[in-house]
């Protein structure tokens, strides 16, 4: 590959740090950028520590850039992040759905916004620390494949990134295992070689999603309402539907059971519960389908993941329109939650995905 100017999204973690180092090794001109996405209030060492793009992470990204001898800039995306990620996240919970903020962040900011910023400074490509692989199809369009390290694969979170943006992207760590990434970090002499991974939602550093939603919603926070079984018998009272998700068992405060959340009825402010057996579904619909692998077929045999951490399952996909489809699983799955993504594969190839309706 000829030498190109590459804008590397540096989160402050080891994966994006090694991505920058590998781009340098390939002979590219590398510019590091860290997105300032959220104000944590307290800018101390503890605030945002261990979270993606927190204050400590900005410091670490700057230290990595210094170690590599590359330019580094911090870009202010706070307003865009609130509009495209946090706002929709809050509204989805108010509507009784369970959102995935990382999908919105990847599409709107880590690719769309950075690709546009790269063009402004004459950069040819954007590189990230995502564990995915890119291959170009026979039609010339880029495709995404699952990472070599299946445990770390992140294709689930990139299912709706347009191919025009993938065409401008590099994923240097997708061919490596996590252990190999840390080995490269040590070889490069990077100060984040042993840094632990970020796991929680970056804008909720204390992990209390319910309290965060209540602060954001203010007077619009859903109030208490009935917890009911499938026969409309009132079993108790919930503390606001934003504090519950499909499949939840703990925190219901009900006698008998065990009870699991089956549905959230936002219009009537009800939480519907039942036995675990009632959580299993064989058929569901997806909307907002983004298909990465050419023209969508009328039907297709696929493997599907209904959550990032869930094992994949065999399924029949039947398109109802260009952007909606019905998924019929070979075996019923537990806790198919509206608002989560259903992502489709054939082997390692990411075919596309949509939102569980």
Mapping DSSP to helix (H, G, I), strand (E, B) and coil, where does residue 231 land?
A: coil
Active-site positions?
A: 105, 202
CB 12 within 8 A of CB 192: yes
The Cα diameter of the chain in Å comes to 68
Helix intervals (H) in the chain: 14-25, 55-68, 78-81, 87-94, 101-105, 114-120, 163-166, 178-188, 209-217
Residue whose C-alpha is closest to residue 200's, from 212, 208, 192, 189: 208
Q: Calculate the CA 319 to chain-centre distance.
A: 24
Q: CA 46 → CA 17, 109, 205, distances in Å? A: 22, 25, 10
CB 276 within 8 A of CB 334: yes
Of how many residues is the chain composed? 357
Helix intervals (H) in 139-177: 163-166
Cβ partners under 8 Å of residue 261, min gap 6: 244, 245, 246, 247, 248, 249, 252, 271, 272, 273
Structure tokens at 88: 């929709």
Structure tokens at 54: 């927190």
């Amino acid at each position: 590959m000829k030498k190109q100017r590459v804008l590397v999204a540096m989160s402050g973690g080891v994966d994006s740090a090694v991505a920058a180092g590998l781009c340098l090794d390939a002979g590219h001109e590398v510019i590091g950028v860290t997105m300032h996405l959220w104000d944590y209030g307290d800018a101390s060492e503890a605030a945002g520590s261990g979270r993606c793009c927190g204050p400590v992470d900005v410091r670490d990204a700057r230290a990595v850039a210094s170690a590599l001898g590359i330019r580094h800039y911090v870009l202010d995306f706070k307003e865009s992040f609130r509009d495209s990620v946090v706002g929709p996240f809050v509204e989805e919970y108010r509507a009784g759905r369970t959102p995935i903020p990382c999908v919105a962040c990847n599409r709107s900011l880590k690719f769309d916004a950075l690709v546009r910023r790269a063009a402004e400074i004459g950069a040819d490509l954007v590189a990230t620390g995502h564990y995915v692989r890119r291959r170009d199809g026979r039609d010339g369009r880029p495709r995404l494949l699952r990472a070599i390290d299946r445990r770390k694969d992140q294709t689930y979170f990139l299912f709706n990134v347009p191919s025009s943006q993938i065409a401008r992207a590099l994923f240097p760590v997708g061919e490596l295992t996590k252990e190999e990434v840390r080995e490269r970090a040590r070889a490069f002499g990077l100060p984040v070689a042993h840094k632990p991974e970020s796991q929680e939602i970056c804008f909720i550093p204390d992990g209390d999603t319910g309290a965060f939603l209540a602060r954001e919603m203010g007077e619009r926070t859903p109030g208490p309402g009935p917890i009911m079984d499938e026969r409309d018998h009132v079993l108790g009272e919930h503390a606001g539907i934003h504090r519950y998700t499909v499949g939840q068992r703990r925190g219901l405060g009900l006698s008998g059971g065990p009870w699991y959340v089956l549905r959230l009825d936002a219009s009537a402010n009800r939480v519907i519960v039942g036995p675990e057996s009632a959580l299993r579904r064989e058929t569901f619909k997806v909307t907002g389908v983004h298909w990465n692998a050419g023209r969508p077929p009328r039907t297709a045999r696929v493997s599907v993941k209904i959550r990032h951490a869930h094992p994949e399952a065999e399924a029949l996909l039947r398109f109802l329109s260009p952007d909606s489809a019905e998924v019929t699983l070979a075996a019923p799955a537990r806790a198919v939650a509206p608002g989560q993504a259903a992502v489709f594969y054939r082997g390692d190839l990411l075919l596309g995905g949509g939102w569980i309706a």
